[in-house]
Amino acid sequence: MKRSHRLPFSVAAASALLAAAAVFLLLPPRPSAGEAPAFAPQSEACTVIIVGKDASTDGSVITTHTADCGTCDWTWRKVPAADHKPGETRKFYNISQMKAWPPKEGLKWDLIKKDFNGVAIPEVPHTYGYMHGVFGYMNDQQLAIGESTIGNVRKLDNPTQTAKVNITMLTLLAMERCKTAREAIKLMGGLAEKYGYGFVDGGEMLAVADAREVWIFEIFAAGPLWTPESGKPGAVWCAERVPDDMVSVCPNESRIGEIDLANQDFFLASPNAVSFAVEQKLYDPASGRPFNWKRTYSPGAGSALSSNGRRQRMWRFFASVAPSKNFRTDLENMDFPFAVKPDKKLSAQDVMTLTRDKSYGTPFDPVAGIRGGPFANPNYWANTRKISVSNVEYTTVTQSRAWLPDPVGGVVWLSWGAQDTACFMPFYAGTTSIPKSFNVGDHFEFNRASARWASDYVDYHVQPIYNQAILDVQKAQQEWETGALTRMAEIDKRAQALYVQSPAEAVKLLTKFSNENAEKVVAAWWNLGDALLVKYNHFAFYDGAKRTRGRVQMFSPFWNKAVRVVDAALEN
């Protein structure tokens, strides 16, 4: 006979343990290789993917940035090109990557002007137009940037107000003043040396690209005791060029290893790149060991395996683009190569797909067993850190294309919110405006006038019934992203021909295409959110064409099995 479900505590506890053990057996073995290392906050932040021009299918230099935050200001704006009179100055502001203000107080990029830090430098005669969110992403010269926080040895931090430049300010100044990656690196490094780097920022990495090459630029503060009067550089920085036929990644970890400063075609650095490490007792030249940038200034222990997937992004990227190399999950992250030649060249669309990667089919699969719940939702299992996470503000994929005029050749693909449920929209570098809906919005106030909320609206309706609803989203992504790529081939051709006759008319064409496409995508995503709400209401399937209601059968087989195991344990 069946026993009552009202069991004595000891028996109930035993049944619960039995059920838990049975459920555990449904999960694949979790990796283990000793105690996982502790993780700093930056290990959970942004991912940057880098593709050299000869590693892309069309000759584009490609960078990405996933702005993984969850509470940051997400608004975007277009800063127009401008001419400046003699005597004009450019002020420096203390710009926090993380800080956001309530919409009733105003827009972040107006409010930061209240935090002028006292430094103003002479304006240049002409500043370039550019697009930016938390950082500057692309200017009308095809200069592109992507960012990833990397951290550093703690003694290097300079949280004092003697440090007058931060990473956001540096990217904005580079956008305004530079045409090439090398120019941008030297400008940012020089300003940081002169005025001191830090205050609101620590160790940072930037992927700095132009139409011909791409570099990894890393910068650290010079410690809390630095002052301008010391006569010493207020920062230490180094940059290494990614070979044209290779790809690289920065998942919040320093990537530059041994450096050859005599080879300026591949390395640039501050004058104190090595001497500062000696001064800080971080490197001993008498040790006989070669100087290694990342192991000196930003060391980190652990692998994908030893961290149980918390530090798997390095492995996942390299294993995805170069499977023939057989990169192991237990390879220490510090031992991965700076860059690798991919097994096949990557298109911009391939890179978009990589930004959406959830590590399916790997030892860190977020839906293996019952991890994804009844509807195989990869966002339930938060114990592994995937390339694609749900707390992203937006994602950028930039293309810099040398065979086209700069306003035509540069493209920023922007998607709002979580990559798996959002849509990438292209904006040409020559675009003179962006939709007003990109300028507004906040995490804490729903706003139908904000483009970002259209993506969040879709995302919200996908999560409860993920493995069914995501198919609807992917169909829409295919329509709008592939559609934009197809139309751009014609726009490129028309704009290039028009640019010869009238650059201004070419820019008008590019602006019109970029904005009209974006506004259509935002409208389509609002409609998609409405459609998902109706289609999967009450965990059912409402067919509008047939006016029928059916039951959704997309439960995970592992979930069903787990439920039966638990039921059996409770019944006995």
Cβ burial 315-337 (10 Å sphere, 16+ → b, else e): bbbbbbbbeeeebebebbbbebe
- The H-or-E segment that residue 126 falls in is strand 126-127
Distance CA(222)–CA(272), nearest Å, equals 10
Of 65, 2, 39, the residue nearest 414 (C-alpha) = 65
Distance CA(515)–CA(508), nearest Å, equals 11
User: What DSSP designation does 500 have?
Assistant: H
> What is the reported pLDDT for 564?
84
- The H-or-E segment that residue 395 falls in is strand 392-400
> What is the reported pLDDT for 554?
67
Of 376, 419, 375, 377, the residue nearest 397 (C-alpha) = 419
**HEC secondary structure over 526-568:** HHHHHHHHHHCHHHEEEECCCCEEEECCCCCHHHHHHHHHHHH
Contact by Cβ (8 Å): 299, 153: yes
For the residues of 396-447, what is the DSSP string, one character each?
A: EEEEE-TTS-HHHH-EEEEEES-GGG---EEEETT-----GGGS--BTTB--
User: Helices H, strands E: what count in the chain?
Assistant: 14, 20
Which residue's entry shows tokens 């104190």? 272
Q: Measured over all CA atoms, what is the biggest interatomic distance in the chain, rounded to whole angstroms?
A: 94
Q: What is the pLDDT of residues 162-208, one digit of tens each?
A: 999 999 999 999 999 999 999 999 999 999 999 999 999 999 999 99
Q: What is the pLDDT of residues 263-312, one digit of tens each?
A: 999 999 999 999 999 999 999 999 999 999 999 999 999 999 999 999 99
Of 345, 348, 356, the residue nearest 63 (C-alpha) = 348
> What is the reported pLDDT for 123?
98
> What is the reported pLDDT for 565?
82
Amino acid at 394: Y
Distance CA(99)–CA(116), nearest Å, equals 15
Positions in the chain short of pLDDT 50 = 1-43
Which residue's entry shows tokens 């089919």? 361
Amino acid at 484: A
> What is the reported pLDDT for 559?
80
Return the number of other C-beta atoms located less than 10 Å from residue 258's C-beta. Answer: 14
Would you report the helix, strand and coil content of the chain in percent, each value rounded to 5? 40, 20, 45
User: Residue 471, class by beta-carbon neighbours within 10 Å (0-12 exposed, 13-18 middle, 19+ buried)?
Assistant: exposed
> What is the reported pLDDT for 381?
85
Q: What is the pTM of this model?
A: 0.92
Strand order in the sheet with 267-269: 77-79, 130-132, 136-139, 144-149, 204-209, 214-221, 235-241, 267-269
N- to C-terminal Cα separation, the chain: 9
> What is the reported pLDDT for 552?
80
Phi-psi domain of 368 (left: phi exceeds 0; alpha: psi -120 through 50; beta: other): beta
What contacts 149, CB < 8 A, 6 or more positions away?
42, 45, 46, 97, 202, 203, 204, 205, 252
User: Residue 265, class by beta-carbon neighbours within 10 Å (0-12 exposed, 13-18 middle, 19+ buried)?
Assistant: exposed
Contact by Cβ (8 Å): 393, 97: no
